[in-house]
C-alpha cells in the first residue's frame, strides 16, 4: 500500500511541473490557434540559460526563474510580431503555424547544439540530491520545490485570467476572436501578450526542469510529444484540461515505469495521444473545434 | 531500360499544349541521359569519384523521398511528419532479409517497398481519421511510437543497431550499383508522382486538399483516397530506405527515424512547390546541392540543422508556393518544368 502511495505522490509531483509546461502551450492554442511545436525547444533555451547562470554565477536555478521568465516573455512578443502578422490571413493558417514552429524548433535545436554541444547537461544545486520524508513517503527535494513553484505559477495564471481586465480579454479572445474584436478587445495586443505569457511559462518550466532531469538539445522532441499528449487529453485550449491531463498522465506513466520499466514509460504518452486523437479529438474538456 | 521507354510513351499520349510537349520531352531525355550516364561522365574525377557518386545517390534518394511524400503532403494536403517510419521499415526489411537469409537487398527492393506500403496502409487507416494539425500531431506520435519500439526490439539489434555483411564488389566501383539502384527508385517515384497527378485519383486528392467536405459531397470516397495516397507515398520511401541502409552496412534506428529526415522531405517539397510534380525534384537537387557545398566549405556542424529550419521558416513566410508554384502564378513557369 505504502509503495503505491509513494508512486502516486511522485507522479503527482511530476504532474505539477508537466501541468505548467503544458499550460503555456494550451494557452497559445486557445488564444491564437497555434500548435507550437517549438514550445519544448523554448523550454530548453531556458534550461540552458539556467545552466549557464549556474555554472557562471552560481545562481540558484529557482532564482534564475526571475531572469528566464522576463527574457522569454520578451522573446515571445518579439517572435509574435516578427512572424505572425505575416501569416494571419493565410487560408491554411493552423497548418502554417505547425510548420513554422517546426522550423523554429529546428533552428533552436541547432543553435543549442552548436553552442553547448550535444552532450548531457544538468544543474546540480545542493537540494538536487536530498529528500524529505513524510511518514513512510519520501519526496525528492528538487521535485517538491519544482512542483510547488509550478502550482504557485498556475494559481497566479488562474487569478490573472479570472480577475483582471486583461485576463478577461484573453478569455474572450479564446472563446470567440471575432466577437472579442467587436466589443473592443485589441486582439493583436492580446495575442502578442499571450505569446509572451506562454513563453514566460516555458521559461519557468525550463529553469525548473534543469535540476530535475539531465538534458541535451534533441531532448525537446520527447518533451513536445509528451506535452502534446497532455493537452490533447485535456482538450486543446483548456487550461483546466491541461492541468488534469498532466496529473493523470504523470501518475499513469509513474505506474507504468514501476510495473513494466522506465524504457516503456513514454509509451503511455504516445499511445494516449494516438487514442485520444482517434476517439475523442476534442479531449476531456475541450470544446469541439474544427481543426 | 524498360522504365525509360514507358515514360517516353506516356508523355506522347499526354494531352496538352504542343510546344510544352516538345520541350518537356527534351528535358526528359536530357535528364534521364544525365542520370544514367553520370557514373561514366564522372570517371575522370578519379579520387573524388566515390564522393561524387555518393552525392549523386543522395540527390536521387531525396528526389524519390520528397516526390513520394508529396503524394499525401502535397496533392492531398495532409502534412505528415512521420514518413521516417517508412524509410526505416524499408531499410530494416531488406537488412533483416540479408542478415538472416542472405538475400541481396537489391533483389529484395520490391518487397521492402511493399512492406513499407502495407505499414503505410495500416498507419493511414488510423492516423487519417484526424485532420489538419491533429493529423500532423498524430504522425509525430506514430514516429515516436515506432522509434521506441525499434529502439527496444532485440531481434533487430535494438538501439545499438544491426550490422550487415559488406557488398562484395571492387572498391573503386563500389558506389556504382547503389547509384543505379537509387536512380531506378527515383525514376520510379517521379513516374508514380506524374501518374498520380494526371489521374482521376490525383484530381480527387487535389479536391480533398482544397475542400474536403465539398469533395465528399461531390462523391469522392475521401477516406479511401487518403489512405491509398498515404500507402502509395510509403512505397518508394521504403525502397530508398532499403538501398540507403545497405550502402551504410549498419542500420541504427536513429539514422532513419531522426526528425531531420522527415523535416527534409517536407522542406524540399515546400521549397520546390508542394503539390506539383517538378517541385520536389527541384527542391531535392537544391537542398542537397547547397548542403553538400556548405559541408565541404564549412565542415559538418550543428549549423546545418539551423539552416534547414531557417530556410523552412523563410520559405513559409515569403515563398509558400515554392519555386514552381510561384513561377506558375506569375505565368513565368518554363514549359520544361511544367509537369502537371
**A chain contacts of residue B309, beta-carbon cutoff 8 Å:** 102-110
pLDDT at A288 over 80: no
Judging by beta carbons within 10 Å of its beta carbon (0-12, 13-18, 19+), is residue A69 exposed, middle or buried? buried
Flag whether pLDDT at A162 surpasses 80: yes
Task: List the single best residue of A28, A32, A103 to mutate versus B (max B Cβ within 10 A).
Answer: A103
Shortest CA distance from A95: residue in chain B: B133
Chain A residue with Cα closest to B309: A103
| pTM, entire model | 0.88
CA dihedral of A161, A162, A165, A171, whole degrees rounded to 10: 60
Contacts of A103 in chain B (CB under 8 A): 309-310, 312-313, 316
CA–CA distances in Å: residue A247 to residues A253, B127, B175: 10, 26, 53
Do residues B253 and B233 make contact, with C-beta atoms less than 8 angstroms apart?
no
A196 has a pLDDT exceeding 80:
yes
**Mean pLDDT of all residues in A257-285:** 80
Residues of chain B with pLDDT under 50: 1-17
CATH topology of domain B51-337: ABC transporter involved in vitamin B12 uptake, BtuC (1.10.3470)
- Chain centroid to CA A57: how far? 26
Q: Mention every residue, 6+ apart, whose C-beta is less than 8 A from residue B296.
A: none
Residues of A in contact with B141 (CB under 8 A): 225, 228-229, 270, 273-274, 277
- CB–CB of B81 and A96 under 8 A? no
Distance CA A162, CA A149 (A): 20
Closest by Cβ to B132, choosing from A90, A94, A228: A94
Would you say residue A146 has pLDDT above 50?
yes
Measured between beta carbons, which residues in chain A are less than 8 angstroms from residue B270?
A: 99
CA-wise closest residue to B46 among B171, B172, B180, B178? B172
**Closest by Cβ to A277, choosing from B134, B152, B270:** B134
Identify the closest residue of chain B to A291 by CA–CA distance: B132
Domain limits of chain B?
51-337
| Interior/surface letters B93-119, b for 16+ CB within 10 angstroms, e for the rest | bbbbbbbeeeeebbebbebbbbbbbeb
DSSP class per residue in B213-244: HHHHHTT--HHHHHHHHHHHHHHHHHHHHHHH
Write the pLDDT tens digit of every residue in A37-57. Answer: 999 999 999 999 999 999 999
Contact yes or no for B81 and A95 at CB 8 A: no
| Element (DSSP H or E) covering residue B163 | strand B162-163
Instruction: Find, in chain A, the residue whose alpha carbon is nearest to that of B152.
Output: A263
Mean pLDDT of A64-79: 94
Model ipTM value: 0.87
Q: Which residues of A touch B160 (CB under 8 A)?
A: none
High-pLDDT (> 90) share of chain A, %: 44
Q: Number of residue pairs across A and B with CB atoms under 8 Å?
A: 128
Q: Is residue A59 over pLDDT 80?
A: yes
A118-A123-A125 Cα angle (round to 5): 165
The string of pLDDT tens digits covering residues A85-131 is: 888 888 788 888 888 999 999 999 999 999 998 888 988 888 888 88
Cβ-based contacts of A86 with chain B (< 8 Å): 317
Of B337 and A254, more confident? A254
- d(Cα B87, Cα B237) in Å, to the nearest integer? 5
Predicted confidence at residue A284, as pLDDT, reads 67
Where on the phi/psi map is residue B214: left (φ > 0), alpha (ψ -120 to 50), or beta? Answer: alpha
CB atoms within 10 A of CB A117: 11
Q: How many other C-beta atoms can be found within 10 angstroms of the C-beta atom of residue B126?
A: 15
Phi-psi domain of B145 (left: phi exceeds 0; alpha: psi -120 through 50; beta: other)? alpha
Give the chain A residue whose CA is nearest to the CA of B318: A86
Q: Give B148→chain A minimum CA distance, Å.
A: 8
Q: At what angle do helices B278-298 and B49-70 cross, to 10 degrees?
A: 140
pLDDT digits (tens, 9 = 90+) for B14-58: 444 455 678 888 888 888 988 888 888 888 877 788 889 999 999
Amino acid at each position: 500500500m505504502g509503495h503505491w502511495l509513494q508512486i502516486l505522490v511522485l507522479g503527482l509531483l511530476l504532474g505539477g511541473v508537466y501541468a505548467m509546461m503544458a499550460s503555456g502551450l494550451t494557452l497559445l492554442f486557445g488564444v491564437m490557434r497555434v500548435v507550437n511545436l517549438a514550445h519544448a525547444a523554448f523550454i530548453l533555451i531556458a534550461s540552458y540559460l539556467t545552466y549557464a547562470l549556474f555554472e557562471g554565477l552560481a545562481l540558484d536555478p529557482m532564482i534564475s526563474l526571475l531572469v528566464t521568465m522576463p527574457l522569454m516573455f520578451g522573446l515571445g512578443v518579439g517572435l509574435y510580431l516578427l512572424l505572425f502578422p505575416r501569416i494571419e490571413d493565410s487560408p491554411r493558417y493552423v497548418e502554417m503555424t505547425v510548420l513554422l514552429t517546426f522550423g523554429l524548433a529546428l533552428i533552436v535545436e541547432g543553435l543549442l547544439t552548436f553552442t553547448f554541444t550535444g552532450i548531457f547537461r544538468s544543474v546540480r544545486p545542493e537540494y538536487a540530491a536530498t529528500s524529505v520524508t513524510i511518514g513512510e513517503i519520501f519526496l525528492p527535494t528538487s521535485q517538491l520545490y519544482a512542483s510547488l513553484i509550478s502550482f504557485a505559477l498556475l494559481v497566479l495564471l488562474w487569478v490573472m485570467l479570472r480577475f483582471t481586465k486583461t485576463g478577461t480579454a484573453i478569455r474572450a479572445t479564446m472563446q470567440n476572436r471575432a466577437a472579442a474584436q467587436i466589443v473592443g478587445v485589441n486582439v493583436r495586443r492580446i495575442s502578442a501578450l499571450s505569446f509572451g505569457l506562454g513563453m514566460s511559462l516555458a521559461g519557468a518550466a525550463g529553469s525548473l526542469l534543469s535540476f530535475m532531469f539531465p538534458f541535451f538539445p534533441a531532448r525537446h522532441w520527447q518533451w513536445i510529444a509528451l506535452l502534446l499528449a497532455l493537452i490533447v487529453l485535456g482538450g486543446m485550449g483548456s487550461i483546466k484540461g491541461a492541468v488534469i491531463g498532466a496529473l493523470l498522465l504523470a501518475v499513469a506513466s509513474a505506474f507504468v515505469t514501476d510495473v513494466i520499466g522506465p524504457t516503456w514509460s513514454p509509451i503511455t504518452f504516445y499511445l494516449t495521444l494516438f487514442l485520444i486523437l482517434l476517439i475523442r479529438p476534442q479531449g476531456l474538456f475541450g470544446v469541439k473545434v474544427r481543426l | 531500360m524498360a522504365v525509360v521507354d514507358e515514360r517516353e510513351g506516356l508523355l506522347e499520349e499526354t494531352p496538352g499544349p504542343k510546344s510544352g510537349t516538345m520541350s518537356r520531352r527534351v528535358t526528359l531525355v536530357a535528364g534521364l541521359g544525365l542520370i544514367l550516364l553520370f557514373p561514366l561522365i564522372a570517371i575522370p574525377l578519379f579520387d573524388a569519384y566515390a564522393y561524387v557518386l555518393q552525392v549523386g545517390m543522395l540527390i536521387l534518394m531525396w528526389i524519390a523521398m520528397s516526390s513520394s511524400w508529396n503524394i499525401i503532403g502535397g496533392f492531398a494536403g495532409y502534412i505528415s511528419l512521420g514518413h521516417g517510419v517508412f524509410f526505416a521499415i524499408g531499410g530494416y526489411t531488406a537488412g533483416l532479409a540479408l542478415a538472416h537469409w542472405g538475400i541481396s537487398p537489391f533483389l529484395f527492393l520490391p518487397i521492402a517497398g511493399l512492406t513499407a506500403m502495407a505499414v503505410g496502409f495500416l498507419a493511414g487507416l488510423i492516423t487519417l481519421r484526424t485532420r489538419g494539425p491533429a493529423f500532423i500531431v498524430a504522425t509525430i506520435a506514430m514516429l515516436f511510437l515506432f522509434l521506441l519500439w525499434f529502439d527496444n526490439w532485440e531481434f533487430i539489434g535494438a538501439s545499438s543497431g544491426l550490422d550487415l555483411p559488406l557488398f562484395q564488389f571492387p572498391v573503386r566501383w563500389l558506389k556504382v550499383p547503389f547509384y543505379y539502384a537509387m536512380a531506378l527508385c527515383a525514376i520510379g517515384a517521379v513516374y508514380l508522382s506524374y501518374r498520380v497527378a494526371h489521374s482521376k485519383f490525383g484530381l480527387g486528392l487535389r479536391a480533398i486538399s482544397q475542400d474536403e467536405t465539398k469533395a465528399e459531397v461531390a462523391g469522392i470516397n475521401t477516406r479511401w483516397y487518403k489512405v491509398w495516397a498515404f500507402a502509395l507515398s510509403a512505397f518508394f520511401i521504403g525502397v530508398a530506405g532499403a538501398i540507403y541502409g545497405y550502402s551504410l552496412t549498419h542500420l541504427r534506428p536513429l539514422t532513419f527515424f531522426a526528425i531531420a529526415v522527415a523535416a527534409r522531405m517536407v522542406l524540399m517539397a515546400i521549397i520546390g512547390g508542394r503539390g506539383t510534380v517538378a517541385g520536389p525534384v527541384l527542391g531535392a537537387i537544391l537542398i542537397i546541392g547547397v548542403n553538400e557545398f556548405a559541408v565541404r566549405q564549412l565542415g559538418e556542424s550543428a549549423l546545418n540543422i539551423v539552416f534547414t529550419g531557417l530556410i523552412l521558416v523563410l520559405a513559409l513566410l515569403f515563398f509558400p508556393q515554392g519555386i514552381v508554384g510561384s513561377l506558375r502564378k506569375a505565368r513565368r513557369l518554363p514549359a520544361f518544368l511544367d509537369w502537371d
